[in-house]
Amino acid sequence: YQLKEGMPLPHFGSSQLHCGISTNNAVGRNMFGQDIIPAHRYPTRLSIPTDEKILDPVHNFLRSTCIEVFVSGSEYNSRGRGRGSKSSVGLRCVHCKHVPKHERAKQAVSYPSRTANICESVRNFQRTHLGACAHIPNEVKQKYRVLASQSYRKIPLKYVKVYVAEAACEIGIVQTPNGLIFGAPPNTSGKPSEKLQSIMSIAENPIAFKHLEDVIFPKVDDRIKKLKFSHIASEKTHQVIANCRKEEAAFVYPSDFPTLSDFCFVLFHQFVPCRRPPNTAFRRRKKAKPKPEKWDTLSGLCCKYCGEAHPAERHHKSMYFPLDLEALHDNNFSHNLTTHVMTCLLVPLEIKEALEELQRLTAEHGVTTKRGTKQKFMKKLWERMANYYPAPPIKPNEKPETKTAATIGIGPSLDDSATQVYHDIELQRWDEAAATDTEAVAVSKKSSPASFDDKTSPRKAFTADISDDTCNGTATSMNSGEKNYEFR
C-alpha cells in the first residue's frame, strides 16, 4: 500500500492514519515502489475524517468506537470459500472479539458481500448486538443512549448508504465476487476522493447538485436487472442461450424466458423427465408424511446427457426427485443440479463455460433475483413435474377416492344425493371384489400351503426381486423418446 512517511495528515499524527494504519515499519515495496504493509497493519476502523459532515453522531460513534475491521484468517472464524474465508474483510465487535463464538451475542461478526451492504451491517449491529452484548462496558452503552436520545439533521438513507460504501473504498477495501478484501492502496492524501466529494455535495444539497445523480447512481440496464446477460456475454455463451431458446424442453418453455434468468433457463434445459424408481419411492414414501398428492403422475429430473450415455442402467446419480414444492424451492436442490452439470463429464464444455460466465457476470454486476421471481417459476415447474405422466387407471379392487366432478374440474357438479348414490355403488363394488379375493386366497392356502414359503414359487421370487432392488438401490430403465428421455 502506498503510505508515504512524513506526509502531513489533518487531525492525525504523522505516523497514524484516521483508519488505524500505521505508516511506520513497512515490510518492503512492490514493483511500483509502493510500501507493502503487513497483515497486522490493516485498517481497524471504518471511520474517516469526513464522517462528521454526513453521518449522525450515533452512526459515527458505532463506526469509530464499537466496530472493528478485521481480515479473516485460519485462526479466526474461517469458513472456506466465499465470505468469511481467509483474507476476507469482516466487521466485528471490539469488545467481544476475544470471546468464543458460542458465547458471543448475535451480529457480533458479519461479512458484508458488497460495500453497499456495510451500512446495513452497522445497523444490524446497532439493533441486535449492542444491547445484547455483555462485554460492552456500561459507560459505552450509556454514551450511546445519550447520543441516541438527541435529534440530528437527517440525510436521506440512499445517500448515507452510498457514502458508507465509498468510504470503505477510501481505506482500501475492494469488492470481489467472493466478498470484500483489502486490495487497493488507501487514500492517504487527507482529502476525499472526487467521487466521495460528489456524494457529500449532493447529500448536503440534493437540489443544487442534482446533476451529480447520474454519477453517483448510474442507471442500470433493465436486462441486467433481470439477470439477462446475452447482450454482453461472449459469443459462445450467446449461442448457447440462443440454442436453448430454439430447442424444446419438458420443463422450461419459451414463455419463461422473459422473466427467468439466463442461468436458470440454461440450467433446466439440461434436464429431462424420468419416472421415479419403485425402490426410491418406497424409501421416500415413509419419510414423506402425508403421501405426495401427485405421487402417481410426478416426474423427476434427469441429466439428459447421462440418460443418453446410460440408457440401460436403472439407476445413476443424475436423477433427482423432489417430493413437494418446498423441496423444489430449496436452494440446496438448485445447487445440486448446478454441481452435477458443472462436474459431469458428459455435459458439453460450452454448456459449462456458459453457466460459469453467467454466474461471473451476476457477481460482477452485483444483481440479485427479484423477490418472488424464482418462487413463481418454481410453482410453474412443480405443476409441470407433478402432472407430467397420466394418472394410472383405478384397479377393480382399489377403493376409489371421494371426488366429485366439481372438485376435479371436469363437467358440471353433482348434487349431494347423486354424489352419495354414486359412491355407495362404487364402495359396494369394491367390497364385493375384496371379498372375492379373500375367498380365493383362502382356497389357495388350503390347496398348497407351502407355496408361499417356497423360494421357487412365483410369489416368493417376485418378493425376493423387490428386496434385491431395494437393497441395491436400483432404478427404472430408460426408454428413448423423440427428443426427451424418460425412465419407465
Secondary structure element (H or E) that encloses residue 477, with its range: none
SS3 406: helix
Q: Answer whether residue 158 shows pLDDT above 80.
A: yes
Q: What percent of the chain has pLDDT over 90?
A: 24
Check whether 466 has a pLDDT greater than 70: no
Is it the case that residue 25 has pLDDT exceeding 70?
A: no
Whole-prediction pTM? 0.51
Q: What is the pLDDT of residue 122?
A: 94
Using the predicted structure, report yes or no on whether residue 165 has a pLDDT greater than 80: yes
Instruction: Please tell me the predicted confidence (pLDDT) of residue 251.
Output: 87
- Tell me: pLDDT of 245 over 50: yes
pLDDT of residue 340: 92
> What's the mean pLDDT in 395-416?
42
Sorted by sequence, the CB contacts under 8 Å of residue 188 that are 6+ apart come out as 2, 3, 4, 7, 9, 17, 23
**Cβ-count burial 80-89 (b if 16+ within 10 Å, e if not):** eeebbbebbb
CB 153 within 8 A of CB 169: no
Q: What DSSP line would sit under 117-182, residue for residue?
A: GHHHHHHHIIIIIHHH-SSS-HHHHHHHHHHHTS------HHHHHHHHHHHHHHTTEEEETTEEEE
What does the pLDDT look like over 413-456, one tens digit per residue?
Answer: 333 444 444 445 545 555 565 555 555 545 454 454 444 444 44
Higher pLDDT residue, 283 or 80?
283
Q: pLDDT value at position 24? A: 38
3-state secondary structure of 379: helix
Give the pLDDT mean for 313-341: 82
Confidence class for position 353, pLDDT limits 50, 70, 90 = very high
Report which of residues 349 and 320 the model is more confident about: 349
Q: CB neighbours (10 Å) of residue 439? A: 9
* Higher pLDDT, residue 211 or 65: 65
End-to-end CA distance of the chain: 63
pLDDT of residue 279: 54
Q: What are phi and psi of 357, to 5 degrees?
A: -70, -40
Which of 110-114, 170-174, 175-179 bottoms out in mean pLDDT, i.e. has the lowest? 175-179
Contact criterion met (CB below 8 Å) for 240 and 233: no
Give the least confident one: 156-165, 272-281, 395-404. Answer: 395-404
Average pLDDT over residues 345-363: 92
Helix (H) or strand (E) run with residue 367 in it: none
Three-state SS at 426: helix
Tens-place pLDDT, residues 37-60: 444 456 688 889 899 889 999 999
Distance separating alpha carbons of residues 211 and 272, to the nearest angstrom: 52
Q: Who's near 314: CB < 8 A, 6+ residues apart?
A: 277, 474, 475, 476, 477, 487
Q: How far is CA 449 from the centre of its chain?
A: 59
pLDDT of residue 187: 85
Q: 50-54, 142-146, 393-397, 468-472 — which is least confidently predicted?
A: 468-472
| 255-267: pLDDT as tens digits | 889 889 999 999 9
**Predicted local confidence at residue 362, as pLDDT:** 87
404, with CB counted inside 10 A (0-12, 13-18, 19+), is: middle
Residue reference for cell 443440479: 337
- Helices of type H across 310-453: 325-329, 331-343, 349-365, 373-386, 405-408, 416-447
Q: Model confidence at 85, in pLDDT bands (50, 70, 90)?
A: low
Decide if pLDDT at 28 tops 50.
no
C-alpha cell at 330: 430449496
Q: How far, in Å, CA of 16 to CA of 23, rounded?
A: 6
Residue 274, strand partner residues = 300
> Using 50, 70 and 90 to split pLDDT, how confident is the model at 206?
confident
| Averaged confidence pLDDT in the chain | 72
The confidence band for 399, taking pLDDT boundaries of 50, 70 and 90, is low
Confidence of residue 29 (pLDDT cuts 50, 70, 90): very low
- Is residue 149 very low, low, confident or very high in pLDDT (cuts 50, 70, 90)? very high
